[in-house]
Amino acid sequence: MMICMRPLRLIAALATLAGALAAQKPLDRKAPGELGFDAAKLQAAVEYAGAHGSKWDFEKDQVRTFGLPLGPVPKSRAATNGIILRHGFVAATFGDTNANDPVYSAAKSFLSTIAGLAVDRGLIKDVNDPVAKYIHDGGYDSPHNAKITWKNHLQQESEWEGAMWGKNADFVGHEAFGAGERKLRAIQEPGTFYEYNDVRINRFSLSLLRLFGRSMPDVLKTEIMDPIGASGEWRWVPYGNSAVEIGGKQLFSVSGGTRWGGGLWMNSEDLARFGQLILNHGRWGGKRIISEKWLREAVQPSAHGPDYGYLWWLNTKQKQWPSGPTTSFMALGNGSNCIWIDPDHDIVIVWHWYENSAMDGMIQRVLAALR
């Protein structure tokens, strides 16, 4: 019996490997003209991108800007690079799109999507539920923190009080927070005040880890990135001190950015796949990955944020990118690093390492290239 089973196992293993290799094939490309672009004008957009690369330098800028790191920080990075997709096909690329570099706070939009999986699967019954109803690790025991809902975290309106991995949520102290340090202020009621705050997002990430009982990299890989054919070369790097014990296993909680090192490191091709999944309303190759209902809710503006949804930057007031449609939205991180999604024109732009002020000019040129 064992002799018979071994060939079957080998065949099954080879089939699995073949399926994985097929899933990881490069994104399909079409000529710009086939996708409704004027080739010369699209090339002008690509040249504009190449001329507006980021000046971010890890060794000079990281600690000065953000304070002492908790996780690894690269010594170098790729030059500016990216991909322009339309109708799910690659229209143009520039630079090294296979370079796996930190995407900084673009990781927050990945956490948002993982939270959507939790809602889809009933792990979170209602985003308006207090997190304390689900998570019992002491982080939501105080009367103030007990009021915080999942939605408050998703909209960066939690006002969570406490410290995560040695960084306090008040952002007070130059050594810990660098140029990003803040003055001490009065804490507001959860849900009434927006503040962009990575300590609170790290608390949210830990809460998702406890909810799933699995690390966020594992959830992202098996439930999202593998099904959409990602390379498997991306990494979600934890801090050195962010390990917790769950179910007798040591798991590392990951951050929603690279402010203090670590974070999500991903190349432009994998970012483009993720962006296309979101543009496809959560479907990939006919398979439902994340619910359309969640993705609609995720891009509704919060009451107090600067045109902000569930950890996605929005453009409903056309203040973020005046040249883009009001329906466009973005996963955005320092550096700058982004996934810009335009449902009106069926376009995804991934851009690694660009001057932040250049994004609207890029959008303007890509849209001007449409025929």
* CATH, residue 346: 3.40.710.10
Does residue 69 belong to any structural domain of this protein? yes
In this predicted model, what pLDDT tens digit does every residue of 84-136 receive, in sequence order? 999 999 999 999 999 999 999 999 999 999 999 999 999 999 999 999 999 99
Does residue 274 belong to any structural domain of this protein? yes
The backbone region for 292, taken as left when phi is positive above 0, alpha when psi lies in -120 to 50, beta otherwise, is: alpha
pTM: 0.93
Q: How far apart are CA 248 and CA 292, in angstroms?
A: 35
Which pLDDT score is estimated for 24? 60
pLDDT, mean of residues 308-329:
98
Which pLDDT score is estimated for 86? 98
> Is the CB of residue 254 less than 8 Å from the CB of residue 242?
yes
Which pLDDT score is estimated for 135? 98
pLDDT, mean of residues 316-324:
97
Q: How far apart are CA 157 and CA 200, in angstroms?
A: 9
Which pLDDT score is estimated for 255? 98
Q: How confident is the model at residue 15 (pLDDT cuts 50, 70, 90)?
A: very low
> Is the CB of residue 333 less than 8 Å from the CB of residue 354?
no
Q: How confident is the model at residue 177 (pLDDT cuts 50, 70, 90)?
A: very high
Instruction: Please tell me which residue, 267 or 4, carries the higher pLDDT value.
Output: 267
Does residue 13 belong to any structural domain of this protein? no
Q: How far apart are CA 174 and CA 127, in angstroms?
A: 35
Which pLDDT score is estimated for 27? 93
Does residue 275 belong to any structural domain of this protein? yes
Instruction: Please tell me which residue, 344 or 15, carries the higher pLDDT value.
Output: 344
In which domain, by residue range, is 219 found? 32-368
pLDDT, mean of residues 52-75:
98
Does the pLDDT at position 20 exceed 70?
A: no
Q: How far apart are CA 342 and CA 279, in angstroms?
A: 8
The structural domain count of the chain equals: 1
Does residue 19 belong to any structural domain of this protein? no
Does residue 20 belong to any structural domain of this protein? no
Which pLDDT score is estimated for 9? 52
Does residue 175 belong to any structural domain of this protein? yes
Does residue 6 belong to any structural domain of this protein? no
In this predicted model, what pLDDT tens digit does every residue of 198-253 receive, in sequence order? 999 999 999 999 999 999 999 999 999 999 999 999 999 999 999 999 999 999 99
